Chains A and B, each alone.
Chain A
């Protein structure tokens, strides 16, 4: 990278990247507005929209009643009238209250009667923050099964910013899963100039030859840690960060697995019927002849996300799980 470019870049946290994306898109396009619970005066439960009310006013930073279905429904209506709403779910868990509006109205309107619904739902998801069963969920699996939605889940500040901008500019309903654990834990350089990360493109976060670890969200960082440890043992992991769950970048997934011949599917959503299950089935259908070992899934058990520290630690995938699985798989 040229020195000149590096000087222009500055390090920002994942959460700052999200705020920046919202701010820049609102400044760029007056159709963009925000709605959600406690996002105005209070600046949002995670302070992502702090100062936005003062800057953009109460009709572009709209504090809503506590009514997720109503909020999403209203966003759909505003989107069809030509605005670009960005809804903040206070926690992704509460998205279940809006399930019907998302899957029956937002997802089907264009297919049924040609009405595009250009809106974004930001869903702060994931565990590791002592949130318990109602503040730690990974609900992406529910929507993964609903044609008409796009789902993204960035793992780095760069992807967080670029994917949010792309989501706001997309003519379809996009659920943007932002991982709460990553908010203030990771930083990276961000270019000063406007950029997007295209929806539908996975990213190989680490190039390797032996095993493909296919993952997204906070788990990407666990996979990278495991890869570091395994280097000493001569096991070379490739880490594929999906970034977008729908539409799934099958090309990148397949080309990685065709190279390594082995796949670990890692996610924080529970195991049954998760994104890993779908990718495993796809690999069996389309890449069977290049597999040299069983497809392995690493995911939490089929339980709600527990509160108490030892329970949550047991529940969440760990670096050690990846290392153990990789060692076994490497022996094939």
Chain B
């Protein structure tokens, strides 16, 4: 991206804030991966390693009363929406103090009060749900938007189609995105679709689409802003395809031997944190000592979070029976 454009379009503080969230995401997920390898976290662990810029970029472009239906590799969303490292680690450790109180694990967390929908493993399931939230905003005449995404694999599902079509027909204030990280578990793109770009589908729904460098936090932020402005103005949905690469396995148990080494080597050079640091240096917003300071700071936040999570109680068995039905409804 043109540095001059970025300097003009994005405030210095916002960029530095995004850098901080990139670093915090990386540190938190690296810690989670280590805990998984030590057997202290059980079950699935799906990281955004090498893709942190997507969640950090788009979540930073939204207003606080907008709603997000994140992809399962969007840890940055939770951090930006105020989930503490302690809460998140409690979630991964199955503790009662996690957002789901142990009812669900890992990134399957959400909170209506913070405008983040709980992820559903059935990919693309939250896209119609996101369209419905946007419908509520439209019905009530509010200028709020919804940001909702899935992956390249999820774009094959019917719910992807049904959501995009409905949102376009009713010009709903929703932005759909695809985290195209080139592999759905082990399935490469050419076995997932017969088109070169997921965004090619956008025109079939009558909505504009854009291909964005998903490893460039500034590019993600600016593309998200454009789509958000459009949605807020009542012009309807936009589809954003964030091109990136999944640098870890599907879950941390998966060595991903099906991914060619050279491909990973190539993408390693495009690491979003590396890119962000280059940008900050070019803009003279940050230098090596500053990056070091942020890296140390987030490490401390992660360790403090882990201490909280480890000291938190596990749920008691009979708590399984709680919460099947709601006693009252909420809203956001």
Contacts and interface: CB of A to CB of B under 8 A. Distances in A.
A279 B224 CA distance: 53
Interface in B41-84: 67
A109 interface: yes
A80 B112 contact: yes
> Which range holds the interface residue count of chain B?
35 or more
A77 B125 contact: no
Interface stretch (A113-121, A178-186, A312-320): A113-121
Given A67-B166, A80-B330, A80-B331, A113 B128 contact: no
A60 interface: yes
B100 A112 contact: yes
5 contacts: A65-B169, A73-B131, A76-B128, A77-B146, A82-B330
B234 interface: no
B330 A73 contact: no
A67 B134 CA distance: 17
Interface of B: 67, 99-100, 103-104, 108-112, 117-118, 120, 122, 125-140, 146, 158-159, 161-163, 165-166, 169-170, 323-332
Interface residues of A, number: 43
A73 to B, nearest CB: 2
Contacts of B129: 73-74, 76-77, 80, 101, 105
B328 A171 contact: yes
Given A75-B132, A113-B99, A115-B110, A171 B326 contact: yes
Contacts of B139: 33, 59-60, 78, 83
Contacts of A104: 120, 122, 125
Given A69-B128, A76-B128, A80-B132, 15 more contacts: A71-B166, A74-B132, A76-B132, A77-B134, A80-B117, A80-B133, A83-B139, A110-B326, A113-B111, A114-B330, A115-B112, A115-B117, A148-B324, A171-B327, A171-B328
B243 to A, nearest CB: 27
Interface string A71-100: 111111111111101000000000000001
Contact of B133 (A78, A108, A112): A78
Contacts of B118: 109, 112-113, 115
A105 B158 contact: no
B139 to A, nearest CB: 5
A105 B125 contact: yes
A135 B137 CA distance: 35
B292 to A, nearest CB: 37
B329 A116 contact: yes
A191 interface: no
Contacts of B326: 110, 116-118, 171-172
A265 B158 CA distance: 39
B122 A100 contact: yes
A201 interface: no
A72 B324 contact: no
Interface string A105-140: 100111111111110000000000000000000000
A147 interface: yes
Given A70-B166, A77-B128, A105-B129, A111 B323 contact: yes
Nearest to B166: A70
A148 to B, nearest CB: 6
Contacts of B323: 110-111, 114
Among B125, B140, B170, B325: residue with most chain A CB under 10 A: B325
A83 B325 CA distance: 18
A81 B332 contact: yes
A64 interface: yes
A78 B67 CA distance: 12
A111 B165 CA distance: 30
B99 A65 contact: no
A161 interface: no
A63 to B, nearest CB: 10
